[in-house]
Amino acid sequence: MVSVNLQQEDQVIDALQLSFVIPVYNRPSEIQRLVKSMTEQSQAGFEVVIVEDGSTVTCQKIVDEYRSQLAINYIQNPTSLGPGLARNVGVSNTSGNFLVFVDSDCFLPSNYVETITTVLTEQQPDAYGGPDTGHSSFSVLQKAIDYSMTSFLTTGGIRKGRQQFDLFYPKGFNMGIKKNVFESLGGFVDMRYGEDTELSYRVRKNRYSVRYIAEAFVHHQRRNDIIGFYKQVYNSGKARILISRIHSEALKMLHFLPTIAVIVFLLLLALASWNVLFFLPIWAYAMAVLIHATAVSKSLSVGLVSICTSAVQVTGYGLGFFVQFLKARGNG
């Protein structure tokens, strides 16, 4: 589907053996839902490695409840290493030949393993990624956040637009890679944010094949409070600049759009104090989000909250991107 790996013949997997690697930090309730969804898979025969990354509130008791139903290896890091390095620790304790990375705030539909097994067996990609989506059980805020992270009216439009044939870069909440390819690339680098995208760039630079599996989606719970959501998208903005310091091609003009949107928004607010007509573009954007989010979610409550979460999403990403951009310029 994308560039051809020069060593493809050496990387063929004869018998697929899946190893899920999941870093977790102070999220026992979320890991329970993920592990439970793994017990409900239509196809079994995989292992699960959970890395407790220096948590003060561990999920060990929850993991122990499922040991009779799943092949689980539970590892505790004494201090937090960050998601990338925690995944590296997990990989070193796997026995499978294909690694699957899922975030602890996700859970799987019952056919997830069956879906990826079919694609990986028939097409033999070196790596894959899939989308994330909401769930009917999510709170109004979680549904609004999910809308903001995927809508064409926010930076989700940029993200979704790049999930194209030749532009897709798998994300850590739902990605997989052959273990020997992962090891040949040296695993995840020591980055707190954007480490998954950075690895995806190295996968492509080394001409390994990547497959986007639209049917292999995960339900992503994300944050359930505005402050936590703001921090998440702010760090995502910073991560884009950090990645571009390693891979210059990772920074494109479209990544500046959220920052430009924030500047325009502030300018319009300032001008609105002089003439209220300058507030009309802001009002029009809010109405567009309300109408679209309500239509997508079939909930007026979600539509109303989506106005707030969309503003937070664009503003947080734009500011994080801008602050890190200035730091990078200052450091040469």
Q: What integer pLDDT is reported at residue 167 of this predicted model?
A: 65
Cα dist from 186 to 71, 92, 166, 299, whole Å: 26, 12, 24, 46
Structure tokens at 159: 């993200």
- Helix residue ranges, H only, the chain: 28-39, 60-65, 83-91, 112-123, 140-150, 156-161, 179-185, 195-205, 226-246, 257-272, 280-297, 300-330
Q: How far apart are CA 127 and CA 186, in angstroms?
A: 15
Name which of 282, 308, 314, 205 is nearest 250 in CA terms. 205
Can you give the residue ranges of every domain in the chain? Answer: 8-130+170-222, 139-162+225-332
Question: What was the pLDDT predicted at 222?
Answer: 79
Choose the weakest-confidence range: 7-21, 179-193, 247-261, 295-309: 7-21
Place 164 in a pLDDT band, splitting at 50, 70 and 90: very low
Question: What angle do the packed helices 195-205 and 226-246 form, to 10 degrees?
Answer: 30
Predicted local confidence at residue 155, as pLDDT:
74
The answer to whether residue 211 scores a pLDDT higher than 90 is yes
CB 147 within 8 A of CB 314: no
Q: Which two tokens stand for residue 171?
A: 């994300």
- Among 255, 279, 283, residue whose Cα is nearest residue 267: 279
Mean pLDDT of 40-66: 94
**Best CA proximity match to 196, nearest among 87, 89, 106:** 87
Number of Cβ within 10 Å of residue 129's Cβ equals 25
Q: Are strands 210-212 and 127-129 parallel, antiparallel or unpaired?
A: parallel
CA distance 185 to 199: 8
Within 8 A by CB and 6+ apart from 232, the residues are: 222, 223, 316
pLDDT for 29: 83
Q: Answer yes or no: pTM beyond 0.85.
A: yes
**CATH class for the domain made up of 8-130+170-222:** alpha beta
74 phi/psi in degrees, rounded to 5: -105, 125
CB 36 within 8 A of CB 206: no
Q: DSSP letter string over 289-327?
A: HHHHHHHHHT-HHHHHHHHHHHHHHHHHHHHHHHHHHHH
Query: Would you place residue 14 in the very low, low, confident or very high pLDDT band (cuts 50, 70, 90)?
Result: low
Rounded to whole angstroms, how far apart are CA atoms 58 and 276? Answer: 52
Mean pLDDT of 73-84: 94
DSSP string, 184-224: HHTS--S-SSSHHHHHHHHHHHTT--EEE-TT--EEE---S
Averaged confidence pLDDT in the chain? 90
